[in-house]
A and B are shown apart, each in its own frame.
Chain A
């Protein structure tokens, strides 16, 4: 038996909230397909306490439309794409909704896009799902990604444009399958997006789950992963970059319900600008039966300027002592001026030095994502984010129109 809880990397920025005990065990949280069971939140509930519920309000409504986004799938030759009615028996198998947006998304969606990697097929190309916001009509969407037994493949869901989207992404990884699922939130300003990812991971199956959030006003993603048989492995990787007045929230739940499964969670974020707010909550539950569990979760935040706030809450519940390892680490730090001094003392101008440090912060994670097209895109997005902050530092931000005439 080896239980390790790594606090060595935690820093006292008020980010690592050991003092806050969630309302009961994660296992006891209400989940249901029924709207009546999960009422509209007030914002005081554990799962909503960091969220801007006012801005999410439209997504809590019972009736949501369907026309706000345009979804285009370009599938790998081996993959199969279907549009099915809500009564399709394959829907709803990954678990019940666990919060208000998840339950309204489930009930409002009338059809679903199902992507299947057939049994034993090895996809020769990435399957890309492009979700483009076209109107601000509040919209529900349901996606199901299935990797049948021993299938292998990569599915990238790419969100762009402006939308009010409430989404369910079901993920089924059957025995022996290896699935990489990437969700990129590259919305324009104004977009509001809630998404419940619910994954089931079978015997000896592997899910790599990647979340990348850059754009949108409010993005709240709640990936849940449950192991259904022994030998499963889940790797959850996330990267986010919040600017002025952006709210980016990632709440993860890994349910070790069966023995001998492994989970790794690594989320990293950068924040800049007044009102930039990120939330990371990582719940891991090791149930009494889950002997031989091996889990570790890490969240790191880099605060680049004043007025930004990062909340980081790892929660580990362990109901058995017979585990291989369980730990978490959380650290939120300000940009390190000593690093800046060191680099500048080598002749590197401040703008370039800052860029090096931020790139360095994300470098390892970007390599871990392992999907070349996503990696290149990510690097470009980080560069674009850095351009914004650099223009503040160097004072070359464009002046407000009309100012020149006033002067």
Chain B
């Protein structure tokens, strides 16, 4: 069974004042088909974990290991990680002017699969996946993320998750900024991907509301760069009621 294994991961971010440690020893094992929710207050390092796993150059791994089926993920370049089966749905998807969504999707799919998708079926597949996510067909010809609303960007991220069929998907606050309708559409997309591909999901969120649509198998509470508590779905319910106060003292409450 494919496994993404994170062991004692320490990560620093480059700042003007020099490297600043963010992650302080993260241990996490995700098997395919499993959904792990990572919850935590702002600044706890959740998004740093996502970016570090994808290989963003701003983040430096200072110690620890990440393996995908025993393969050393940290030794891979950003694109190699994606081709190995890692997918990051970004919190702030980037605009790429002049590159159409259709061209981008085909180029990425070709890179990930190592061969161009069959022309006829690919077109249909993209169309159907866009319809499922309530993305207008006209978006194919638009530049990637350019002029997209927040909700459109997030749906475009999940569209890619459905089409690229990764082995492990990291969803970095995909729910933030979404209204209820968009949240439902996006969640349905994630659930479809889980059903169709047995993808392992690392769901990073500040709020519990997305967990009503996407059922986690495990919940991890992230505080100060490491996992402070772990449990099943019931942990999310407790966080819903109590907030993060018990982990961080005063001042930080959950506003779900």
The 0/1 profile, CB within 8 Å of A marked 1, for residues 61-101 of chain B is 00000000000000001110111000110100111111100
Cβ contact within 8 Å between A342 and B98: no
Do A347 and B83 touch (CB < 8 A)? yes
B160 within 8 A of A: yes
Contact check, B82 vs A357: say whether CB atoms are below 8 A apart. Answer: no
For the complex formed, measure the closest distance between the CB of A282 and the CB atoms of chain B, giving whole angstroms: 21
Q: In the complex, are the beta carbons of B107 and A348 less than 8 A apart?
A: yes
Which residues, 310 to 358 on A, are CB-close (under 8 Å) to B?
336-339, 341-350, 352-353, 356-357
| A78–B104 CA distance with the chains assembled, in angstroms | 43
Check B143 against A341 for contact (C-beta < 8 Å): no
* A344-B79, A347-B111, A348-B108 known; A360 vs B96 contact (CB < 8 Å): yes
- Alpha-carbon distance A337/B78, docked complex (angstroms): 12
Asked, given contacts A346-B82, A347-B79, A349-B79, whether A363 binds B98 with beta carbons under 8 Å apart, the answer is yes
Are A360 and B98 in contact, CB atoms less than 8 angstroms apart?
A: yes
Flag if A347 contacts B108 (CB, 8 Å).
yes
Residues of chain B contacted by A364 (CB below 8 angstroms): 98
Contact with B111, one of A339, A349, A357 (Cβ below 8 angstroms) = A349
The contact of B97 among A342, A349, A350, A361, by CB within 8 Å, is A361
Q: In the complex, which residues of chain B have a beta carbon less than 8 angstroms from the beta carbon of A350?
A: 77, 79
Measured between beta carbons, the chain B residues less than 8 angstroms from A349 are 79, 111
Number of contact residues on A: which range applies? 20 to 34
**B78 close to A345 (CB less than 8 A):** yes
Given A346-B164, A352-B111, A356-B107, do A338 and B94 touch, yes or no (CB 8 Å)? yes
Tell me whether B112 is interfacial, beta carbon within 8 Å: yes
- Cβ of B186 within 8 Å of any chain A Cβ, yes or no, is no
Interface flags, B98-119, vs A, CB<8A=1, else 0: 1100011001100110000000
Question: With an 8 A cutoff between CB atoms, is B56 at the interface?
Answer: yes
Report how far A353 CA is from B81 CA in the complex, Å. Answer: 15
> Would you call A346 and B111 a contact (CB within 8 A)?
yes
User: Is B99's CB under 8 angstroms from A341's CB?
Assistant: no
Residues on A with beta carbons closer than 8 Å to the beta carbon of B111: 346-349, 352
Q: Which residues of A contact B103 (CB under 8 A)?
A: 356
Is the CB–CB distance between B79 and A357 below 8 Å? no
Other A-B contacts than A347-B108, A348-B79, 19 sampled, CB-CB below 8 A, are A339-B95, A341-B56, A342-B96, A343-B108, A344-B79, A345-B82, A346-B108, A347-B83, A347-B164, A348-B107, A350-B77, A352-B107, A356-B103, A356-B104, A357-B96, A357-B99, A359-B99, A360-B143, A361-B98
17 pairs of residues in contact across A and B, judged by CB atoms under 8 Å: A336-B94, A339-B94, A339-B95, A339-B96, A342-B94, A343-B104, A344-B77, A344-B82, A346-B79, A346-B108, A346-B164, A347-B83, A348-B79, A350-B79, A362-B98, A363-B98, A363-B99
Cβ-closest 3 pairs across A and B? A360-B98, A363-B98, A347-B82
